[in-house]
Chain A
Amino acid sequence: MRDLAFDMPAAPSSCHRTATGEPILEARNLGFEAGGQRLLHGVDVSVRRGARTLIMGPNGAGKSLLLRLMHGLIKPKEGEVLWQGSPLTKKTMRAQAMVFQRPVLLRRSVLANLKFALSVRGLQGRPRAEKIDQALASAGLSHLAHRPARVLSGGEQQRLAVVRALACEPDLLFLDEPTANLDPASTAAIEKLVLEANAQGITIVLVTHDAGQAKRLGEDVIFLQDGRIAETGPVDQVLNRPRSEPARAWRDGRLYLGPDLHSVSSYPGSNT
Chain B
Amino acid sequence: MDSFWSVLGGAFALVFALDPDLMEIIGLSMRVTLTAVFFACLIGLPLGAAVGVFKFPGRTFLAVSLNALMGLPPVVVGLVVYLLLSASGPLGPLRLLYTPTAMIIAQMIIVTPIVAALTRQVVDDLNREYAEQFASLGVGAIDRLVSLLWDARYSLLTVALAGFGRAVAEVGAVLIVGGNINHVTRVMTTTIALETSKGNLQLALALGVILLLIAFAVNACVMAIRATAVRAAYA
The chain B residue with its CB closest to the CB of A102 is B129
A107 touches B135 (CB 8 A): no
B147 touches A90 (CB 8 A): no
B151 touches A98 (CB 8 A): no
A148 touches B234 (CB 8 A): yes
Q: Of A98, A116, A151, which contacts B136 at CB under 8 A?
A: A98
How far does the Cβ of B154 sit from chain A's closest Cβ, in whole Å?
8
Interchain CA distance A93-B136 in the complex, whole Å: 7
The chain A residue with its CB closest to the CB of B155 is A107
B139 touches A120 (CB 8 A): yes
What residues of chain B lie closer than 8 Å to A98, measured between beta carbons? 132, 136
A107 touches B151 (CB 8 A): yes
A104 touches B234 (CB 8 A): no
Q: Of A90, A100, A106, A109, which contacts B138 at CB under 8 A?
A: A90
Contacting B at CB under 8 A, from A76-118, are 90, 93-94, 96-98, 100, 104, 106-109, 116-117
The bracket for how many chain B residues form the interface is: 10 to 19
What residues of chain A lie closer than 8 Å to B139, measured between beta carbons? 120
What residues of chain A lie closer than 8 Å to B196, measured between beta carbons? none
Q: Of B132, B138, B147, B233, which contacts A148 at CB under 8 A?
A: B233
What residues of chain B lie closer than 8 Å to A116, measured between beta carbons? 147
How far does the Cβ of A194 sit from chain B's closest Cβ, in whole Å?
17
Chain B CB within 10 Å, residue with most, of A93, A100, A104, A107: A107
Q: Of B132, B151, B234, which contacts A100 at CB under 8 A?
A: B132
Interchain CA distance A104-B151 in the complex, whole Å: 13
Say whether A71 faces chain B, with CB atoms less than 8 Å apart.
yes
- 30 A-B residue pairs with CB within 8 Å: A68-B132, A71-B136, A72-B135, A73-B132, A73-B135, A73-B136, A90-B138, A93-B136, A93-B138, A97-B136, A97-B137, A98-B136, A100-B133, A104-B129, A104-B132, A104-B133, A106-B130, A106-B147, A106-B151, A107-B151, A107-B152, A117-B137, A120-B137, A120-B138, A120-B139, A120-B140, A120-B143, A121-B138, A148-B233, A151-B234
8 further A-B pairs in the complex, CB-CB below 8 A; given A73-B135, A93-B138, A104-B129: A71-B136, A73-B136, A100-B133, A104-B130, A108-B151, A120-B140, A148-B233, A151-B234
Binding site for B on A (CB under 8 A): 68, 71-73, 90, 93-94, 96-98, 100, 104, 106-109, 116-117, 120-121, 148, 151, 168
